[in-house]
Amino acid sequence: MPIHPTAIVDASCEISSEASIGPYCIIGPHTKIGSKTVLDSHINIHGWTSIGERCRFYSHCSVGTDPQDLKYKGEQTHLEIGSENVFREFVSINRGTEKGGGSTVVGDNNFFMAYSHVAHDSIVGNNIIMANAATLAGHVAVGDHATVGAFSAVHQFCRVGPHAFIGGFSVVTRDALPFIRTVGDRNQAKIYGINSLGLQRKNFSEQTIKELKQVYRICFRSGLNTGEALAKAKETDWSAPEVGILLEFMEQSERGFIR
Say whether 145 is catalytic: no
Active site residue 82: no
Q: Are 134 and 113 in contact (CB under 8 A)?
A: yes
What is the β-pairing status of strands 180-183 and 190-194? antiparallel
- How many Å apart are CA 215 and CA 249, to the nearest integer? 13
Q: Which of 22, 100, 138, 149 is catalytic?
A: 138
Give CA–CA dist 204/236, Å, rounded. Answer: 20
Q: Give the residue among 25, 26, 21 at the shortest CA–CA distance from 1.
A: 21
Helix, coil or strand: residue 47: coil
How far apart, in whole angstroms, are the C-alpha atoms of residue 212 and residue 73? 46
Query: Helices marked H in the chain — which ranges?
Result: 196-201, 206-220, 226-233, 241-251
Out of 120, 145, 155, 163, which one is annotated catalytic?
A: 120
Amino acid in the structure at residue 203:
N
Q: Which amino acid is at 251?
A: E
Nearest to 117 by CA among 71, 78, 156, 74: 156
Which segments within 46-121 are labelled E, that is strand? Answer: 49-51, 56-57, 62-65, 78-81, 86-87, 92-94, 103-106, 111-112, 117-118
Per the annotation, the verdict on 108 as an active-site residue is: no
Which residue is catalytic, options 40, 108, 121, 175? 121
User: Cα(201)–Cα(203) distance, rounded to whole angstroms?
Assistant: 5
Q: Which residues are marked as active site?
A: 120-121, 138
